Amino acid sequence: MKKLFLVAATLFVLIVVNFLIIKKEITLAGGRTMLLRLAPVDPRSLIQGDYMILRYSIAGSIPEKQLADKGCIVVSLDGNSVAKFVRVHKGEPLRNGEHLLFYRNRRGPRFGAESFFFQEGDAKLYANARYAELKVDSSGKSVLVGLRGEDFRVLGRNSLHPAP
């Protein structure tokens, strides 16, 4: 009986983990590209070890009093796919050119991609990062794809996709 329970629990965990992976892969394959401007941070504390802490300029545009524990903001995209805050989403229909971006309120909005990890020794490749590139599905859930420079070029050794 213990073996059966162990096998069933293992299968359940594998199914759940694979389901979550498939959801992220679907977002990566079919999600809309959205760039979030990175907020200025002291460069000495920006890169710590093998990761970069990401802070977003758009977070400063959102009135904190309007934020729930979690929800979506409405953004519009400019010609370079840079997101601009429009309003906090209250369930109303979106207008033409508007998109959702999911957040969790953790002493301010967090978009699920607050750290960017890279290989040891690659910090200099990302030192000029100005935008975080996200793939966002229609419900506003996002996956961090990479970082871009001021000229919108993909940063890093082996970019898997070209800049717009």
How many C-beta atoms lie closer than 10 Å to residue 114's C-beta? 14
> Residue 163: inside a domain, yes or no?
no
What is the percent of the chain with per-residue pLDDT over 70, rounded to a whole number?
Answer: 89
> Residue 162: inside a domain, yes or no?
no
Looking at the fold, whether 55 and 104 belong to one and the same domain comes out as yes
> Residue 155: inside a domain, yes or no?
no
Looking at the fold, whether 23 and 62 belong to one and the same domain comes out as no
Determine the pLDDT at residue 92. 94
Which residues have a Cβ under 8 Å from the Cβ of 76 and sit 6 or more positions away? 83, 84, 86, 97, 98, 99
pLDDT at 64 over 70: yes
Confidence class for position 46, pLDDT limits 50, 70, 90: very low
* Mean pLDDT lowest among 28-37, 58-67, 105-114, 142-151: 28-37
Looking at the fold, whether 102 and 36 belong to one and the same domain comes out as yes
Which residues have a Cβ under 8 Å from the Cβ of 116 and sit 6 or more positions away? 51, 52, 54, 126, 129, 132, 144, 146, 147
Looking at the fold, whether 40 and 25 belong to one and the same domain comes out as no
pLDDT at 162 over 50: no
| Count of domains observed in the chain | 2
Q: Which residue has the higher pLDDT, 71 or 20?
A: 71
Q: Return d(Cα 35, Cα 130) in angstroms, integer.
A: 9
> Residue 89: inside a domain, yes or no?
yes
Q: What is the mean pLDDT of residues 48-56?
A: 77
Contact between 54 and 38 under an 8 Å Cβ cutoff? The reply is yes
Looking at the fold, whether 53 and 121 belong to one and the same domain comes out as yes
| Domain housing 42 | 32-148
